[in-house]
A and B are shown apart, each in its own frame.
Chain A
Amino acid sequence: MNLIGMKKEYPSIPENIKTMIREEVDAQIKKKEKKIIRRKRGIKIAVAVVSIVILTGGTIYAIKKAHSVSVEDKGEYAEEVVIEDNSDEEYVIPTLTFEGTYVGEGMTFKDVGTPKIRYGSEKGNESYMSIFFESIPQGDGSNSLVTSVENYEQIDINGNIGYVFYKDNYDDEGVQYEIIVVYDEFHYMMRMLVLDDMDIQEAIKVAEGIVLTPTDNLEAENIVIDERPPFDQMEPQQTTDIFYESDYPMSIPKEDLTIYEMNEPFVTNTSNVDTREIQLKVNVQVCDDLSLLNKDIVDEWYSSLYDLLGDDGKIHNASVDYVVLGDGINTVNEAIYSEKVPVKLVYVEVEYTNIGNNVITNKIYDASIHFMDEKEDEFEVYTGLEDKCEKKYDYIDTRISHHLHSSNLYHYNGRDFWEKNYLVDLQPGESQTVQWAYLVAEDMLPYMYFDFKADTFTFNSSKYVDIRQ
Chain B
Amino acid sequence: MKKEELGELIIRNENSLYHIAKSLLYSDEDCKDAIQETIVKAFTKLHTLKKDEFAKSWLVRILINECYTIMRYEKKMVSINEMQDDLEIEESGDYSDLYEAIMHLKEEQRLCIVMYYIEGYSIKEIANMLDTTESAVKKRLVRARSKMKLDLDGGMAL
Q: Which residues of A contact B (CB under 8 A)?
A: 1-3, 5-7, 9-14, 16-18, 20-22, 24-26, 28-29, 31, 110-111, 116, 118, 120, 125-127, 130, 172, 230-231, 233, 237-240, 242-243, 247, 272, 301, 304, 325, 364, 366, 394-395, 401, 418, 420-422, 455-457
Contacts and interface: CB of A to CB of B under 8 A. Distances in A.
Nearest to B135: A237
Given A233-B133, A304-B52, A457 B99 contact: no
Given A2-B157, A421-B12, A455-B120, A24 B98 contact: no
21 contacts: A1-B152, A9-B97, A10-B114, A13-B15, A17-B28, A21-B39, A24-B39, A25-B7, A29-B4, A29-B7, A116-B48, A125-B1, A130-B50, A230-B131, A231-B131, A233-B133, A364-B14, A395-B122, A420-B8, A421-B12, A456-B120
Given A1-B152, A16-B32, A395-B122, A301 B5 contact: yes
B14 A13 contact: yes
B89 interface: no
B91 to A, nearest CB: 9
A10 B48 contact: no
Contacts of A16: 32
B94 interface: yes
Given A29-B4, A420-B11, A10 B118 contact: yes
Given A10-B98, A130-B50, A243-B123, 15 more contacts: A3-B117, A6-B98, A6-B118, A9-B99, A10-B99, A13-B14, A17-B28, A17-B31, A29-B3, A120-B50, A237-B135, A243-B138, A401-B53, A418-B4, A457-B120
The listed residue with most A CB atoms (<10 A of its CB), out of B3, B19, B50, B119, is B50
Nearest to A325: B134
A29 B39 CA distance: 11
Given A18-B14, A231-B131, A420-B12, A237 B50 contact: no
Contact of A13 (B18, B136, B139): B18
A129 to B, nearest CB: 10
Nearest to B51: A127
A21 B11 contact: yes
Contacts of B123: 243
A118 B53 CA distance: 17
B60 to A, nearest CB: 13
A18 B94 CA distance: 19
Contact of A28 (B7, B94, B102, B119): B7
A297 to B, nearest CB: 12
Contacts of B3: 28-29
B124 A24 contact: no
Contacts of A9: 96-99
A242 B145 CA distance: 13
A217 B148 CA distance: 51
A365 to B, nearest CB: 10
B72 interface: no
Interface string B17-57: 11100100000100110011001100101011111110000
Given A21-B10, A21-B11, A456-B120, A11 B48 contact: no
B73 interface: no
Given A1-B98, A21-B35, A29-B3, A238 B135 contact: yes
Contacts of A116: 48
A222 to B, nearest CB: 14
Contacts of A120: 50
A270 B90 CA distance: 29
B21 to A, nearest CB: 9
B117 to A, nearest CB: 5
Residue among A24, A31, A247, A422 with the highest chain B CB neighbour number at 10 A:
A24
Contact of B47 (A14, A111, A301): A111
B contacts with A: majority SS: helix
B10 A242 contact: no
B135 A240 contact: yes
A14 B28 contact: yes
B119 A455 contact: yes
B18 A17 contact: yes
Nearest to A304: B52
A273 to B, nearest CB: 13
A151 B131 CA distance: 26
Contact of A11 (B14, B94, B117): B94
Contacts of B50: 118, 120, 127, 130
A36 to B, nearest CB: 8
Contacts of B141: 243
A456 B119 CA distance: 9
A25 B152 CA distance: 39
A271 B131 CA distance: 33
Nearest to B142: A242
B35 A17 contact: yes
B40 A22 contact: no
B156 interface: yes
Interface string B92-108: 00111111001000000
A130 B48 CA distance: 10
Contact of A10 (B4, B19, B36, B139): B19
Contacts of A18: 14
Contacts of A240: 135, 138-139
Nearest to A109: B47
